[in-house]
Structure 1
Amino acid sequence: MPLASRYLFRQLLLPALAITMGLVAVVWLTQSVRFLDLIVNRGLSAFTFVKLTILLLPTFLSIIMPIALFCAVIAVYSRLISDRELVVMRAAGLGPWALIRPAVALAVGFTLFGYVLSSYLVPVFARDFRELQLSIRSDVAAVLLQEGRFNTPVSGLTVFVRERLPSGELAGILVQDERDKELPVTMMAARGGIVPTETGQRIVLVDGNRQERSGDGRVSFLYFDRYTVDLALVAGDAAPTIPDRRERFIGELLNPEEGLPPKFRAELRGELHQRLAWPLYNIAFTLIALGPLLSGEFSRRSRWTRVAVATVAMIVVQLTGLTLTSAVVTSPMAAVPLYLIIIGASVVALALMLRPQIRRIPATPPQAGQDGREVTP
């Protein structure tokens, strides 16, 4: 790689990585807020919390990378134009392709890493995330019902435990179930425990009674030897019977198993095209950023106008791509314009940069010679 190309590549690499890490940190913070309750109210360790949130990053990283690369290209090349460095490079004989080659090389690297994310890391991390969630629910259930306190594991459900025995069994249990406002239920039991099942967590009550007040004010008693209360710590507590679309590799998205509902098969198709199309935005957004900046003569006065044009073009392409990705779920033919808009925008931007530059030299007025006749320079 020529010296100038290496210089441009170094100028691009660090800002691209810095912006990517910055956006990842912002997304990580916004996503981690969802799990703060697990630390504050449910005794989850900080290490498990960090691990849980990190497992979400590959999904968001594949979306963040094209935007970060676009911002880096805009920032670096705008500065090079402002400092007249690109003018010097062009005067030294570097053509349009030599100026854009470092950015394209970096975009290709981001694209390849994007395919590694979408084809392998995203499904692997998604599966680990689901398994960790199930493990956390079991651990949380073990410590959630604290003795000597009125615990509210679910809205409308209050549980009091007198003591927790060394064996892990609960003694002296009172349950007030008001999830059905019209029929509140009170249950008391001598002992019990938390039992995981295929459909979620349950509280098993042993040797107790169930009190229910009817609409006319009468109270009915049911004495039982064994009774089960649905705890339902988190919505969707049970482990899914089939892998979610984010947990599937590319081959599983291409050839899903038989017997799946048509709606779910359509969602798998949309996930497939999203995984295949999104890494291409790294190249498309890079060329869209370079197109307006490097077309024509370099000028400080028109620099911000060109940045605005590139930004609007990037937003239009991305919004169109998102719309078409959603449309693929209901209409498989929407995949055709999805790839065409990405490739078409890249080709148009590349054509703007590589087209021959025609410099117009203003005409000078004729000058008079010493003998009075006009002389054309």
Structure 2
Amino acid sequence: MRNINRYIFQNILVIFIVIVTIMTSLAWITQTLRYIPLIIEKDRSIFDFLSLTSLLYPWLLSLMAPSSLLIASVIVMDKMIRDSELVILNSSGISPYQKTLPFLKISILVTLLIYLFSIYITPWSMQNFREKITTIKSDIISGSFQENEFIHPDEDFTIFVADRNENGDFIGVIINDASDRKNMVTYSAKKAKLYSLYNQILLEMTDGKIFNANKDLLGEDMEIISFESYTINLSNVVTTAQKVYFKPSEKSIGELLNPINVPAEEIHRNIQYRNEAHIRLSNPLYTISFVFIALFFLQKDLNFRLLKSRYIVYVAGSCLLLKILGISISSKIKNYELYLIHYAIPISVILLYLLYIFSIMHRERKIKNANLY
């Protein structure tokens, strides 16, 4: 029996790995498409793109794992029915618990894997993702200095850059400063370099001119000053990386259960954070409940060598309705301290199936004992 369990377990595991890899990769591709325009706009490399979007993979993997295991279990059971393996096991007198055991083991293993991702890996990856995306969006060089475009970092400044060399220096720079009430200043330079010093953003220009004109006398001659080197402070114009704000789904379990920098009197937000934590802790349990639903329907009629399609429809429909019900209930109680309700649906399914298995075993034992007398 141990060899049979190992055989079933290994089959499910191999198919699960293939399916979860394919499904997660497809989901990853669809998610990454939305960030391509941002990467192009900010003039980032393919390495930046991959290092950013790869951080989404753990989150997507934990989302796809339950349904992937469900599909793998259905495929294995279908194969075993086609090859009459389940029929032979059923007629050999093996108890329902023994037939369920390999499916239970793999579902527990995947559930623990999802817990590992949900509690540790996914929060870490999503926080790194949020930090990277914030840094890219607030990049002062790519955001305020784009080639052959007039950029307006604020309503008083206009910046134009003709080109940029391999060292990152700007070629052909024009900056118009209309922040002063009386004068409008325009800087032009053949070359410029941006750097940060003591939290100040400085632009060092070389070989250029300064055009100073009175706003009230724009038709008159303007003052023109040539320079070999001139530095202006752009700290009030362009911004460095913004402060990173993490969504509740991106926080760790510890941060959700014990929020930092959230006053105790803000009960509403604390409750939402704790509900998010319990949603994350309850979701992996759907993995076991999905497999039990598949076992309940697909092991009902083992007298045929073909798995009836209606049973697969029953499995898919039941799992979908179960998940929709769970999401609906979680959204309804997110503002209330009803944390245990998040666990009610998956645990109820698990307990009902175990009760169903033990009731069959009890009935078979009674029949067996009756036949002895």
* TM more than 0.5: yes
User: 2:13 is matched with which residue?
Assistant: 13
Query: How far is 1:256 from its partner?
Result: 1.4
Distance 1:316 1:298, change over 3 A: farther
**Structure 2 gaps, min length 5:** 179-183, 224-231, 365-373
The equivalent residue for 2:349 is 345
Equivalent in the alignment of 1:48: 48
| Alignment CA distance shift 1:254-1:291 (3 Å) | same
The answer for unaligned runs of 5 or more in structure 1 is 178-185, 213-217, 360-377
Specify the code of the residue in structure 1 equivalent to 2:284: P
Aligned to 1:304: 309
Letter in 1 for 2:273: L
TM-score (norm 2): 0.74
* 8 A contact 2:24–2:57 mirrored in 1: yes
Kindly state the Cα deviation for residue 187 of structure 1 after the two structures are TM-superposed: 8.1
In 1, the alpha carbon distance for the partners of 2:314 and 2:47 equals 45
Identity %: 25
Indicate the SS of the match to 1:356: helix
SS of 2:174's equivalent? strand
Corresponding residue for residue 368 of structure 2 = none
- Which amino acid in 2 is paired with 1:284? S
Superposition deviation, residue 250 in structure 1:
1.8
Q: Would the aligned equivalents of 1:173 and 1:189 in 2 still touch at CA under 8 Å?
A: yes
Q: Which secondary structure state, in structure 1, belongs to the residue aligned with residue 340 of structure 2?
A: helix
1:332 is matched with: 337
SS class of match (2:42): coil
Match of 2:325 in 1: 320
Distance 2:100 2:307 in 1: 19
* Segment of structure 1 superposing worse, 103-112 or 37-46: 37-46
Give me the whole-angstrom Cα distance separating, in 2, the residues matched to 1:210 and 1:349: 83
Give runs of aligned pairs for residues 149-164 of structure 1, distance below 5 A. Answer: 149-150=148-149, 159-162=159-162
* CA RMSD, 1 decimal: 4.1
Deviations 1:219-259 (A, max 9, x none): 9xxx9x867775689xxx6223x654344322222111353
Q: If the length of structure 1 is used for normalisation, what is the TM-score?
A: 0.73
CA contact (8 A) 2:153 2:237 kept: no
The equivalent residue for 2:130 is: 130
Partner of 1:257: 260
Question: What is the CA deviation profile of residues 295-350 of structure 1, one whole-angstrom value per residue up to 9, with x for unaligned ones?
Answer: 355445772222211111101110111122223321222x3332111111122233
Q: What secondary structure is seen at the aligned counterpart in 2 of 1:257?
A: coil
The alpha-carbon deviation at position 194 of structure 1 amounts to 6.2
Separation in 2, partners of 1:274, 1:32? 25
Q: Which residue of 2 aligns with 1:189?
A: 187
Match in the other structure for 1:67 = 67
Please identify, of 59-68 and 323-332, the stretch whose mean Cα deviation from structure 2 is larger: 323-332
Q: Quote the offset at 1:196 in angstroms.
A: 8.2
Q: How does 1:133-152 map to 2 (within 5 A)?
A: 133-137=133-137, 141-142=141-142, 145-147=145-147, 149-150=148-149
Asked whether the 8 Å contact 1:24–1:57 carries over to 2, the reply is yes
Distance (Å, rounded) in 2 between the aligned partners of 1:226 and 1:102:
68
Select 1:238's aligned residue among 232, 236, 242.
242
Q: Distance in 1 between matches of 2:83 and 2:162?
A: 74
